[in-house]
Amino acid sequence: MNDMRSLYLKVGSFLLVVLGLGVAFVFYYLHSRGFFERPFHFSLASVNAANVQPGIPIAYSGIPIGQVTEVEINSAGGVVIKAEINREDARWLRIDSQFVLNKPFIGGASIVVDSPNLTTPPLPANSRVLLQTADPNQQITQVLSQTKTLLANLDRLTAPGGALSNTMQHVDTISGRMAGPYGVMEGVLGTPAKARAFQQSVESTHVLLVRLNRLTDRLDAMTRKTDRWLFAPGGVSDATRQNLSQLHALLAQARGNLGQATQLLDNAVAISANVKGGTENLDLLRSEIDASVRKANDLLDQINRKWPFAKRPEVKLP
């Protein structure tokens, strides 16, 4: 009987201790979450409550320190936004702090606090401050109005007698010569002979492209073959080696051709330096040549990537 009583006592005290610990834990948890602290309250005045709703965060230096609790309209028709902040974070709010409603294109709105001077007196509790808005839509409106001004200026430029129309007349005199057999280039380069030479060099880049294209096809076929050889027992056979050296020669040829194209480009640069008028047309031509060379480069890259035994290209110190 006595044994049973002491057992009851033990179980009872154990339950009490566990219960006490549980309560202490809950209190500690609530305390650490700031439940017993009276938050710091203040309100923001604004003309427009768009995008503002209870729960949006108030951030200082990007760290949330509080949130909006209520949005209401006062008797004068103004919007009053009530907010609360952790009491310990209230020291970041100063008399001259700026409160800006930040509404990014993507994501939720937030109120950003900026306190440029932390030596000024702190913001008193329950005070009312002005909420400014940084709305990207407003910026767009500004850009739109700027664009309109720009368009108006352009209108004036292109009007008859305007600066641009005068320029166009000048271009007309050049284009008189552009009607010749070599068109634009004759206009730019002056004589048909020069234009012919240039035309030929442009054509040679096109030929080069066709040749490089054919080369990639051949290389593709060969690489497939080398793959099979590589994985066959015995590894790289003599026949493969011969094919590989042939591939090397082809690659060298492609490089040489590409070098020609680069020189061509250099010629174009030299020409553009000599000719003063009609640079626009020349720019067009140059961009075309640039594109051709780029294509050739791409092809060469492809070849290099498919090349089974390629070393990693690296700049070596000579």
99's enclosing H/E stretch is strand 98-102
Binding residues for other proteins, total number by CB under 8 A: 21
100's enclosing H/E stretch is strand 98-102
Q: Does 315 bind other proteins (CB under 8 A)?
A: yes
Site residues for other proteins, 2-31, by CB under 8 A, read none
Nearer to other proteins, 44 or 247 (CB): 247
Say if residues 36 and 30 touch (Cβ distance below 8 Å): yes
Site residues for other proteins, 286-305, by CB under 8 A, read 297, 300-301, 304-305
The CB-of-265 to other proteins minimum distance in angstroms stands at 8
The CB-of-248 to other proteins minimum distance in angstroms stands at 15
70: alpha, beta or left? (left if phi > 0; alpha if psi -120 to 50): beta
Q: How many residues does the chain have?
A: 318
Nearer to other proteins, 138 or 304 (CB): 304
Nearer to other proteins, 125 or 244 (CB): 244
213: tokens are: 């294209």
Nearer to other proteins, 254 or 282 (CB): 254
Burial class for 16, CB neighbours closer than 10 Å (0-12, 13-18, 19+) = exposed
Q: Does 314 bind other proteins (CB under 8 A)?
A: yes
Pattern of binders to other proteins over 145-164, x per CB under 8 A? --------------------
Q: Does 317 bind other proteins (CB under 8 A)?
A: yes
Q: Rounded to an integer, what distance in angstroms lies between the CA atom of residue 94 and that of residue 90? A: 8
Instruction: Scan for tokens 């010569």, then name that residue.
Output: 177
Q: Which of 307, 266, 267, 295 is nearest to 207 (CA)?
A: 295
Pattern of binders to other proteins over 202-241, x per CB under 8 A? ----------------------------------------
Backbone angles phi, psi at 317, to 5 degrees: -75, 125
Nearer to other proteins, 34 or 259 (CB): 259
Site residues for other proteins, 237-276, by CB under 8 A, read 255, 259, 262-263, 266, 269-270
Burial class for 223, CB neighbours closer than 10 Å (0-12, 13-18, 19+) = middle
Say if residues 83 and 72 touch (Cβ distance below 8 Å): no
* Interface with other proteins (CB under 8 A): 255, 259, 262-263, 266, 269-270, 297, 300-301, 304-305, 308, 310, 312-318
